[in-house]
């Protein structure tokens, strides 16, 4: 699997594609950030296969998941577990491997590493230590869903996973409400209904959105509609598979002074000056400092 024996008894690195063996040379020392398929294993790039077959070590979130990819292409690579709970020892082992002049391929369970996956600290420390860091681009659920969602693509903002509690989630959504970009969220299938309900409440129930599920897999779906329509469909529904939610930019005009004063008065009815300014700032995008001064004036009756 992934090696061939020569007459001298040596092994040769490589990989198999549809029964054909392709040799792969050992790659130069450094950290290689390798994108892997997000579902369909056929989406792997030839450069990724060259890198995985040529690396001295493959660092992955779940060795079982990565081994399925390696086995599919006949790659006999040495793998080691590296994820958010690995701890300092695993982190140090990878840096030591780089210090020894070895090549390390970093992969996540799916897609491009570092995007809602571990690895950022390793890349940062590898750079600080003077090691070469090489991107091996490829599949990304962010780009894949954006390309087929039917929403504006000129600007987009990847917000990752939102807080699991509704209050904290709504606070974060309020901070994103005026962003002039398509918003992209990852979410657990168990919480997508709650996210849609909160998004409709905070961002506006008429805002267009696309719920993407199982992208590149057999049951791939793109469900399009307003946030209200999607919330009604999925609020109590059981959803299976990987989920990405995209929300179109809002047509938010900057609030008038009258709007700001009204919002501050409402907030001051139940909050202190500092808290009221913070709350209205998150909802409107107006400077918290300016709102604090205005809230003081309203409180004093000016």
The answer to whether position 17 is within a domain reads: yes
Give the pair of three-digit tokens for residue 63. 């060795």
Examine the domain organization and report whether 40 and 78 are in the same domain.
yes
Alpha carbon 272 to chain centroid, angstroms: 36
Same domain assignment for residues 39 and 107: yes
What's the average model confidence in pLDDT over 134-149? 97
The verdict on residue 74 lying in a domain is yes
200: in domain? yes
Instruction: Give dist(CA 146, CA 182) in Å, integer.
Output: 9
User: Are residue 128 and residue 174 in the same domain, yes or no?
Assistant: no
Residue 28 shares a structural domain with residue 68: yes
Residues 79 and 165 in one domain: no
Same domain, 125 and 158: no
Residue 39 lies in a domain: yes
The DSSP 8-state label assigned to residue 60 in this structure reads: E
Read off the pLDDT of residues 3-44 as tens digits, 9 standing for 90 and up. Answer: 544 433 346 899 999 999 999 999 999 999 999 999 999 999
On whether the CB atoms of residues 142 and 151 are closer than 8 A, the answer is no
94: CB partners within 8 A, 6+ apart? 31, 57, 59, 80, 82, 104, 122
Same domain, 293 and 218: no
Does residue 252 belong to any structural domain of this protein? no
- One domain for residues 130 and 173: no
In a domain, 213, yes or no: yes
pLDDT in tens, 195-252: 999 999 999 999 999 999 999 999 999 999 999 999 999 988 778 899 999 999 987 5
Q: Output the pTM of the full model.
A: 0.79
- CB neighbourhood size of 112 (10 A): 24
- The pLDDT-based confidence of 115 (bands split at 50, 70, 90) is confident
Domain region containing 211: 142-247
CATH number at residue 68: 3.40.1010.10
Q: Are residues 131 and 59 in the same domain?
A: yes
> Are both 28 and 150 inside the same structural domain?
no
CA angle (72 as vertex; 71, 73 as ends), nearest 5: 90
Question: Where among 247, 268, 286 does a domain terminate?
Answer: 247
SS3 5: strand
Number of residues written out for the chain: 302
3-state SS, residue 219: coil
Looking at the fold, whether 104 and 197 belong to one and the same domain comes out as: no
């Amino acid at each position: 699997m992934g090696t061939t024996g020569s007459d001298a008894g040596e092994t040769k690195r490589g990989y198999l594609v549809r029964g054909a063996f392709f040799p792969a040379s050992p790659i130069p020392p450094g950290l290689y950030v390798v994108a892997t398929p997000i579902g369909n294993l056929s989406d792997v790039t030839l450069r990724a296969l060259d890198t995985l077959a040529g690396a001295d070590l493959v660092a992955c979130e779940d060795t079982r998941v990565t081994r399925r990819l390696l086995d599919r292409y006949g790659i006999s690579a040495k793998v080691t577990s590296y994820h958010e709970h690995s701890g300092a020892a695993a982190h140090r082992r990878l840096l030591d491997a780089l210090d020894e002049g070895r090549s390390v391929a970093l992969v996540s369970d799916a897609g491009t590493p570092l995007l809602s996956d571990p690895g950022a600290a390793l890349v940062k420390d590898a750079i600080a230590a003077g090691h070469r860091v090489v991107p091996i681009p490829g599949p990304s659920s962010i780009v894949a869903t954006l390309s087929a969602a039917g929403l504006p693509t000129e600007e987009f903002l990847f917000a990752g996973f939102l807080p699991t509690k509704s209050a904290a989630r709504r606070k974060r959504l309020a901070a994103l409400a005026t962003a002039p970009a398509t918003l992209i969220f990852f979410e657990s299938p168990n919480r997508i209904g709650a996210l849609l309900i909160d998004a409709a409440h905070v961002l506006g129930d008429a805002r267009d959105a696309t719920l993407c599920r199982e992208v590149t897999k057999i049951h791939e779906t793109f469900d399009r509609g307003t946030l209200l329509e999607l919330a009604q469909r999925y609020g109590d529904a059981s959803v299976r598979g990987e989920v990405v939610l995209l929300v179109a930019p809002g047509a938010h005009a900057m609030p008038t002074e009258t709007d700001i004063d009204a919002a501050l008065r409402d907030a001051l009815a139940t909050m202190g000056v500092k808290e009221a300014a913070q709350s209205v700032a998150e909802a409107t995008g107006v400077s918290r400092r300016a709102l604090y001064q205005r809230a003081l004036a309203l409180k004093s009756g000016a």
